[in-house]
Amino acid sequence: MAFEIQVAKRLGEAEIALDCVAGDGLTILFGPSGTGKTSVLNMVAGLLRPDRGRISVAGRVLFDAATGVDVPPQHRRAGYVFQDPRLFPHRRVRANLLYGARDERALPATVAMLGIGHLLDRWPRTLSGGEARRVAIGRALLSDPAFLLLDEPLSSLDRPRRAEIMDALLRVRDEARLPMLMVTHDPEEAERLATRVVTL
């Protein structure tokens, strides 16, 4: 299975609990704001430690409270696309894409898949919101991840830009064939992109 997540975490007065198993493709964590969707992504990435439970991705155990397994974030091989693209403003798009890249030879294929070849010499400040998101997705893919985590990658975009990113995510889902876990509260995104929807 792509994702096996059985976790519980208390944050303040609330407890986040999730027990799900998902196959290959793009799994969406769906629900309103404040239900702990991003916290689950952070637990899978190793940025937030569950109080109890177990996390495995593609058969590799990343966290197991019972046996003491807790793989450090830098060794989990997660490609994480945050709500904010977090591009380096002092690096052109090509340099942003290659930052942390495991294999520069993968650049042409990744650029072609995301349709960003015309952006390579641009500065991040000149990009639209949709262009910046595609570059952020490309940078995550070039890190040679074992899986992708996407935290509301379509938030704050107008309808044409949202459509552009949805098309890019469908290409990544179908061509890169990586396990993908994405957070959204938008039913249209869930319906169009998801292989499986998990509601929180």
CATH architecture of the domain with residue range 3-199: 3-Layer(aba) Sandwich (3.40)
Edge-first strand listing for the sheet containing 78-81: 78-81, 147-151, 180-184, 26-30, 196-199
For residue 124, pLDDT over 80 is answered with yes
The C-alpha atoms of residue 198 and residue 200 are separated, in whole angstroms, by: 7
Reported as a single tens digit per residue, the pLDDT across 83-101 is: 888 999 999 999 999 998 9
Helix axes 107-114, 159-171, angle to 10 degrees: 140
Tell me, what amino acid is at 75? H
- Looking at the predicted structure, is the pLDDT value of residue 11 above 90? no
CB-based contacts of 124: which residues, under 8 Å, 6+ apart?
A: 85, 87, 88, 89, 91, 93, 96, 132, 135
| Dist CA 96 CA 120 (whole Å) | 9
The reported pLDDT for the residue numbered 61 is 97
pLDDT at residue 119, as a whole number: 97
Give the residue extent of every domain in the chain: 3-199
Residue range 140-186, pLDDT digits in tens: 999 999 999 999 998 888 888 888 889 999 999 998 889 999 999 88
Given a cut of 90, is residue 56 above it in pLDDT? yes
